[in-house]
Structure 1
Amino acid sequence: MIFMPLWQRLLVVAAIVGALVLAAPNLFYDRVERANDARAQIAAGITSPELEAEAALWPAWLPSGLVNLGLDLRGGAHLLAEVQVEDVYESRMDALWPEVRDALAAERETVGFVTREQIVPTELSVRISEPSGVPRAVEIVRGLARPVPTLTGGGAPDIEVTADGTLLTVRLSEAERAATDDRTVRQALEIIRRRIDEVGTREPTIVRQGADRILVQVPGVGSAQEVKDLIGTTAQLTFHPVIQRTTDPAADPGPGGMLVPALDEPGVFYALDRTPVVTGEQLVDAQPSFDQNGRPAVNFRFNPQGARAFGEYTAQNIGEPFAIVLDNEVISAPVIQSAIPGGSGIITGNFTVESSTDLAVLLRAGALPAGLTFLEERTVGPELGQDSIEAGRTAALIGLAVVVAYIIASYGLFGVMASAALAINITLLVAALSVIGATLTLPGLAGIVLTIGMAVDANVLVFERIREELRRGAGPARAIDLGYQKAMSAIVDANITTLITAGVLFFLGAGPVRGFAVTLGLGIVTSVFTALFVTRLMVSVWFNSRRPKTVVV
């Protein structure tokens, strides 16, 4: 009699039943997906009879996890963007100018008058009026340098200062440029991820490629332009003092100023102080709302540092205009009526409900630190994705049919049991992918097809060991027990090496390679489980009920 402990039998049955329940939602993919989307919107506070009806398409008490389909299976957008890291150099120089100006002004007797000249945007050019004060001026500005953080502590200074006559040129050092480039791309990557996650897209792929490029793949969207509209806006929000309002596009804003067009007033320009009072980086929240006249607007709130600066400036400049600038366009220039000490305010303009909501999303996600240039963009149509699914399904069915035919022809009844275990193996694999929310791509489908071929390897080892024991004269029950016992070490050793390979692919690979590694790794685990426990349970039930005198394997 083949012995298999009761707890093992119960565990195997529970695993099979659980896998069937967890994998079942994938048989009703569209219905479950629509119900999940509706429930997510309801949980976010959006409700309507239509959403309630969508949420009811799938019972809430049933599992609703799905295997997410990747870009190549359901269609979507593929974008490759290059981060314009040089933009950050210019903003760094603009931010450094007040500090340089104040430090030099403190020793005006030595360096004379200090003015800024616009020569190279990525450099800060400062002219002093006293030639004899150049060495001292260089010393003062160099004293403002900070060490570039490294793994071993402070490193080289972050700025370099040179002098040509009375003109001082300040630029970022090579070490600081490298560190700034890395930070900029990392920040852009995170902000793109936040923006895409805000609108509820399914399982986007957002990864860094090379030094300054970001790959974005978003399944399920209609076109690449939709994604570009969402992530391509820098949404750099700043608040500037207004010098003057003019209709002259060639007006001189003066030293330290900049000329910015008005968004909703064609032909109108604002001369603004280049240094902002507060920026969007100090925002902690932004929500769509309505102004006192019922028109769409955006409420915002600053962090303590921004609230303090905002409150102090508004208290000192009551009656003066204050420009709100979004991506180098003045969207509003209200007159300060009173001090605003709480750090909260409202952005008004020619908004629609949709545009105010989009702006709030962009501001909450944060400003992109630099502009993006889209080097590659393409849209994968849903029809192509469906063709990929059909091709993958056909390959899996053909592979399954060939494997089943071979195993039954080779091992008879035991081959039938192995084929049934193979179906359970695929169910276990789909259930595992659903639970972890994995994204299935074409390479992932290839991993599943490979798993079908590999799944019978362990059974072949077991059945061949049983044949050997029968040839040695062992009885049927003894041969089966010894076959499973002696094959276990070989099965584990053979699959451990493949599992290690899958792990290396997962941790060192990216995108589709990781998808292949996930399905391959999970397939190995489920294959070993079905070979050592599921088929053994089937053989045990059959043998103990029939008590055959001989066994043909």
Structure 2
Amino acid sequence: MKRLLPFLSCFLSFAYAQVERVDTQYTLRVQPHANTDENAADENTERPPITAREHKQAAFILQKRLRALRLSKSEVTPQDEDLIHVSIPGLSPEEAESVKHALTTPAQLGLKRVHPDNRQLADKVADKEAPLPAGYELKVLHDLDQDGRPTTENLLVRKKADITGSDIKEAQELYGPYEGQLDVTLNEDGAQEMRQVTQAMQLGHDRLAILLDDEVLSAPVVQAVLGEKFQITGMGSVEEAQKFALALKNPLKYPLILIEEKRPPTHILQDPGKQAAP
């Protein structure tokens, strides 16, 4: 019994030194896209209001994401014209940060063809030595070389995506040597579009950029005609891939802006045996 006392004392100290879980509330605003019509006179025009259906759909998507995180007791309530209130009981600070990421990640996937003359044109466009080709936009790919050193590459990609998040049937993170990658399966319409797009490309030369929330993750050379399955690379860890897989399964049409987060002050619960005597 005496041998167990140090163990029990250590166990109780650990049990009491836990961060208190508290109810957390978030208020988010649905942020419609600005007018990006290339024929519009001014791209800085006022953002159009969302419809009641889009408002409810955004709240429904958030509820699905929270259920996927096994937060079944959470409440998601549309408010006013574009606000959504989320209430979740019993979150630690670390869990609250993960939930915040899950709530605010739009996960807008876009597969866009890279200009066939990108190597000759992209740097010149970036340096304003050449005009931007019609129907294309300039993006930057941040990557690592074989020695792990950061690199950047200018890319001219089509403004309109060939494949979008609405074409996704399933997204699953990969493990082991493929850590940080996603295995994506397209639905029937998406698979047909992918085949048409890649059939028209010069295999072994043309590239297809993969963008997530308007950031280029990778831009591989297309080596064969693709169909319903492909992989997304460029994520740093399994955890990051898991977060994006969750979001890709339930993509938001519009970004959500965090307006307010309410959490009561948390306390470290101390071992009562170590509390000072009154």
Change (3 A) 1:313 1:79: same
Corresponding residue number in structure 1 for 2:42 = 120
C-alpha contact 2:30 2:254 (8 A) present in aligned 1? yes
Work out whether 1:370 is the aligned partner of 2:254.
Answer: yes
C-alpha contact 2:108 2:212 (8 A) present in aligned 1? yes
Q: Which residue identity is paired with 2:172?
A: Q
Corresponding residue number in structure 1 for 2:183 = 299
Taking the aligned partners of 1:316 and 1:322, their CA distance within structure 2 comes to 12
Work out whether 1:77 is the aligned partner of 2:44.
Answer: no
1:65-464 pair list within 5 angstroms? 75-85=22-32, 87=33, 90=35, 93=37, 116-117=38-39, 119-121=41-43, 180-223=50-93, 224-243=96-115, 244=118, 246=122, 249=126, 252-264=131-143, 266-290=151-175, 293-317=177-201, 318-319=203-204, 320-341=206-227, 343-365=228-250, 367-381=251-265
Q: Deviations over 1:370-414 (max 9, x none)?
A: 12222211223466xxxxxxxxxxxxxxxxxxxxxxxxxxxxxxx
> 1:324 offset after TM fit, Å?
0.4
Q: Structure 1 stretches of 5 or more lacking a match? A: 1-72, 94-115, 124-170, 384-553
Q: Which residue identity is paired with 1:191?
A: I
Taking the aligned partners of 1:239 and 1:350, their CA distance within structure 2 comes to 16
Q: Which residue identity is paired with 2:60?
A: E
Higher-Rg structure is 1
Taking the aligned partners of 2:142 and 2:56, their CA distance within structure 1 comes to 31
SS at the partner of 1:268? strand
Percent of counterpart pairs with the same letter? 25
Q: Which residue identity is paired with 1:238?
A: G
Taking the aligned partners of 2:231 and 2:243, their CA distance within structure 1 comes to 15
Taking the aligned partners of 1:192 and 1:281, their CA distance within structure 2 comes to 16
Larger relative strand fraction:
2
C-alpha contact 2:142 2:152 (8 A) present in aligned 1? no
Taking the aligned partners of 1:227 and 1:186, their CA distance within structure 2 comes to 20
Corresponding residue number in structure 2 for 1:20 = none
> 1:266 offset after TM fit, Å?
4.8
Change (3 A) 1:197 1:189: same
Taking the aligned partners of 2:224 and 2:232, their CA distance within structure 1 comes to 16
Taking the aligned partners of 1:336 and 1:192, their CA distance within structure 2 comes to 35
Taking the aligned partners of 2:217 and 2:229, their CA distance within structure 1 comes to 17
Taking the aligned partners of 1:268 and 1:379, their CA distance within structure 2 comes to 42
> 1:212 offset after TM fit, Å?
0.4
> 1:270 offset after TM fit, Å?
1.5
SS at the partner of 2:54? helix
Q: Deviations over 1:63-116 (max 9, x none)?
A: xxxxxxxxxx9613211111112x1x646x4xxxxxxxxxxxxxxxxxxxxxx5
Taking the aligned partners of 1:90 and 1:284, their CA distance within structure 2 comes to 29
RMSD: 2.8
Taking the aligned partners of 1:184 and 1:266, their CA distance within structure 2 comes to 39
SS at the partner of 1:203? coil
Number of residue pairs the alignment of both structures matches: 232
What TM-score, normalized to structure 2? Answer: 0.74
> 1:253 offset after TM fit, Å?
3.4
C-alpha contact 2:66 2:72 (8 A) present in aligned 1? no
Kindly indicate whether structure 1 or structure 2 has the higher relative contact order, using CA contacts under 8 Å at least 6 residues apart.
2
Taking the aligned partners of 1:74 and 1:295, their CA distance within structure 2 comes to 31
Q: Deviations over 1:479-535 (max 9, x none)?
A: xxxxxxxxxxxxxxxxxxxxxxxxxxxxxxxxxxxxxxxxxxxxxxxxxxxxxxxxx
Change (3 A) 1:302 1:294: closer
Taking the aligned partners of 1:90 and 1:212, their CA distance within structure 2 comes to 18
Change (3 A) 1:182 1:253: farther
SS at the partner of 2:174? strand
SS at the partner of 2:114? strand
